[in-house]
Structure 1
Amino acid sequence: MRFELLFFETVDSSIGRVDHESLSQQTLMEMVIEEITNKEKICGDVDEPKDIEEWKGVEIEDGEVFGIDWSHYGLRGSVHLEWLPSSVRDLVVTWNQLTEGQMAEWLAQGYVHSVPTSIPAHAV
């Protein structure tokens, strides 16, 4: 009795890549806030986040996120802009303590309207 093993070498370039559009809006938004250290201000329990329809500052139409206003939440950490749902048209994150390097990128892309990351002395 004889057995033969055949190996086929195939390469699928899509293996290991995540298709942004195949992820749910919920998953994308959870990835957006992953590195915000006080994200409970947005989504409630960090271990069991609320549905995005219940998140603070998130506007949804026809099941898709179209606007986010997280201004004056005192958020700290980083936000992953690359995971924003493609349906988002407006993002406001003023008066937070988010990474400033990202803010310049966001301004250049037109996602952020203004970027005060701390309250100026004259506003106190």
Structure 2
Amino acid sequence: MRWLVLAVAYFTLLLFLIGVFDLLLGLWGLISSGGFTDPVAVVELLDTVLLLLIIVEVHRTLIAYAGDEPVVRIVIGAAIIAIAREIISFRIDEFETINDALTGAGAFGILLTGLVIAYLVVRYTETQDSAYEQ
């Protein structure tokens, strides 16, 4: 099982390299066309950067799992990045009504708050556990 996890981890590295190449192409396209002043284009580029960070977090999770290390904090960190990515690319005009947009925004806010609290609890618990081990 460990070799399969490591194979998937190396596959995520390949995906990361492809994503970096795509990011560089997108950045070059924005600079050469003068579109770097367009906020939507910049948000799309930032979306790609956050997607790359999620891939890195998945890679870290796989490596930690293969090494029998705790993965909960890494998974919560990846979830925070994923929710932040959704919040940054949030567009009100994609919803039918303002109430739908407010419901979506509220759900993202509650989810992000819950994940941050969970991250802090896990981090505090890991700190306490390491203090007891010493």
| Bin for the TM-score computed over the shorter chain | under 0.3
Higher relative contact order (CA 8 A, sep 6+): 2
* Structure number with higher strand proportion: 1
Q: TM-score, normalised by structure 1?
A: 0.26
Q: Which has the larger radius of gyration?
A: 1
Q: Structure 2 length as normaliser, TM-score?
A: 0.25
